[in-house]
Amino acid sequence: MIKDQLMQIVGAAYVVADDQLAPWTRDWSGVYHYKPLAVVRPANTQQVSQILQLANETGTAVVPVSGNTGLAGGAEAEGSIQLSLDRMNRIREIRPEARLAIVEAGVVLSALHSAAAGHDLIFPLTFGARGSAMIGGNLATNAGGSNVLRYGNARDLCLGLEVVLPSGEVMDLMSELHKDNSGYNLKHLMIGAEGTLGIITAAVLKLAPKPRAYATAMVAVQDLPAALGLLNQLQTTTGGLVEAFEYMPRGYLEAYAAQYPEKRPPFETYYEVNLLVEIATTIPDDSTPDNDGIVPLMADLENTLAKLFEQGAVLDATVAQSAAQRREMWERREAAGEITMHRHPIVNSDIAVPLDRVPEFLRQMEVLLPQLDAGAETIIVSHLGDGNVHYAVWPKSPDPTVHSAIMESVEDVTLSLGGSFSAEHGIGQTKLPSMRRRKNKPALGVMRAIKKALDPNNILNPGKVIPES
């Protein structure tokens, strides 16, 4: 039996099967339920290679799983070998002079944050699931998060990869170079492929200097155009130091208050447009408190907000005066996953449009949604600084055709504004219909050709990312 062969590769203790599978039978969202053939937990790249060789020879599907925090069904593994890299969790090396880290795919994101901090550095990728999400999954989905505005997506933070191909061959792309034009960029091909082309087992990642000071605020403004004006003004006055610019509408803050009644609201009254703004600096003159104990960076933010308040562009603002207040502000935003997914059914979309088109996207959907489902409710948050809107709908109608119509309307509006129906959560299974309807047909043809060439037996995460022709 294939389970016995898997045990020979990794040891009996690291093959989970039969009545022990319960913790591995659903995704984080609760939408997908499945039963893997077995869960295999290799210790190193050689064992991953042997597992894929065996799977390829027997035609057995392999589905990689990291922290299982995905929202698109990318780790669904019915009848498949579920390959967990949780044991491959070594931070092999941190090189402060080169500002890079060499890590295995099972390293939890928050563990890398802690290790980098020990060298007065940061790994800038961050989001609410950082305590369980793993580097391999971050790269496989090209994760985004809150700091994309300043540092970019996971793809922008990766210099090199080690990847095991479906054949079991190990492709060494562990470059530490910032420039390398030696042929096709296979690293970028693997990042965002969601484990359909190869299994990422290690990576070389970029680190950045740890900011010496943060200035963080909750800001209420009149409307979204005013919010974008604030973003541009802050970018200009700080020289591009804005790290995060997050939009939370009134409906989101009311949902947060309902789910976490013990938490205090950001303002004494509810405003329609609320922003979490954070700027950071590594410059000593901007981060060293003056004789009155005032940090210049915070003073600059307070002065900017005060001037805009006098002009009527800012309605209210609270600047964090301590690390605890800063954490409180971030907890409010990072609870979005729990708030959004606590109700079902849900039509969950993750779109991106040009920054100045976000208001138009929301305006059009505000008109269209009641026409499709009169009682539907929305729960919305946005990485407004990079145009990524998490637009989720709790439909009133139980009819799946209504749910599909809502999703198609989101796609229609998004594409009419020059956007993408998938920003940072990946495709998985959830967005296969969107791929089939909306993705450029020649582009889909190229994707299918690449998949066929690298994985002719279709063993790696089959039924994900690329819709059947």
3-state secondary structure of 217: strand
Q: How far, in Å, are 216, 247, 254 from residue 271 at the CA level?
A: 19, 12, 10
> Which residue has 């946005």 as its token pair?
382
Residues 6+ apart with CB under 8 A from 372: 402, 405, 406, 409
For residues 85 and 64, is the Cβ–Cβ distance under 8 A? yes
- How far is residue 379's CA from residue 230's CA, in Å, rounded to a whole number? 24
DSSP letter at 355 equals G
- How far is residue 329's CA from residue 90's CA, in Å, rounded to a whole number? 32
Q: How far, in Å, are 296, 329, 415 from residue 378 at the CA level?
A: 39, 22, 20
Please give the domain boundaries of the chain with CATH numbers for all domains.
2-84 (3.30.43.10), 91-209 (3.30.465.10), 213-334 (3.30.70.2190), 343-435 (3.30.70.2740)
- How far is residue 309's CA from residue 316's CA, in Å, rounded to a whole number? 7
The pLDDT value given to residue 99:
98
Altogether, the residues listed in the chain come to a count of 469
- How far is residue 79's CA from residue 62's CA, in Å, rounded to a whole number? 9
Run of H or E residues at 415: helix 400-416
Q: Is 79 left (phi over 0), alpha (psi -120 to 50) or beta?
A: left
- How far is residue 297's CA from residue 216's CA, in Å, rounded to a whole number? 10
The pLDDT value given to residue 155:
96
3-state secondary structure of 189: helix
> Which residue has 């609201």 as its token pair?
265
> What sign does the CA torsion over 259, 263, 268, 274 have?
negative
The pLDDT value given to residue 161:
98
pLDDT in tens, the chain (469 residues): 899 999 999 999 999 998 889 888 888 777 888 999 999 999 999 999 999 999 999 999 999 998 888 878 888 889 999 999 999 999 999 999 999 999 999 999 999 999 999 999 999 999 888 999 999 999 999 999 999 999 999 999 999 999 999 999 999 999 999 999 999 999 999 999 999 999 999 999 999 999 999 999 999 999 999 999 999 999 998 999 999 999 999 999 999 999 999 999 999 999 999 999 999 999 998 888 888 778 889 999 999 999 999 999 899 999 999 999 999 999 999 999 999 988 889 999 999 999 999 999 999 999 999 999 999 999 999 999 999 999 999 999 999 999 999 999 999 999 999 999 999 989 999 999 999 999 999 999 999 999 999 999 999 999 999 998 8
- How far is residue 315's CA from residue 111's CA, in Å, rounded to a whole number? 39
- How far is residue 406's CA from residue 389's CA, in Å, rounded to a whole number? 16
